[in-house]
Amino acid sequence: MPEGTPAQRLRLALEMYEFGVRMQRTRIRRDRPEATETEIEQAVHEWLLTRPGAPLGDAVGRPSSRFA
C-alpha cells in the first residue's frame, strides 16, 4: 500500500510531473542553444502532446470515447 495521504501522493505526483517537464525543457535548451524562450516553450508543449502515452491519455487500456 502506498504511504502518505491521498493529498500527499497527489502532491508528489504533481511534483514529479513538473520535474519531468523541467528536465525536458533543459534537454531542449541543450539540444537547441539558438532557440528562443518562445521556441523552447513551443517544443515543450509539442512534446507534452506527442510523448509516449500522451495520445492515449497516459493510461493502460482502451482509450475512452467520453472525451473525444
Quick: pLDDT tens for 15-34: 999 999 999 999 999 999 99
pLDDT greater than 80 at residue 11: yes
Q: Where are the domains of the chain?
A: 6-49
Q: Render the burial of 3-26: b for 16+ CB within 10 Å, e for the rest.
A: eeeeeeeeeeeeeeeeeeeeebbe
Cell of 63: 482509450
32 contacts 40 by C-beta, under 8 angstroms: yes
Q: Which residues have a Cβ under 8 Å from the Cβ of 21 and sit 6 or more positions away? A: 44, 48
What average pLDDT does the chain have? 85
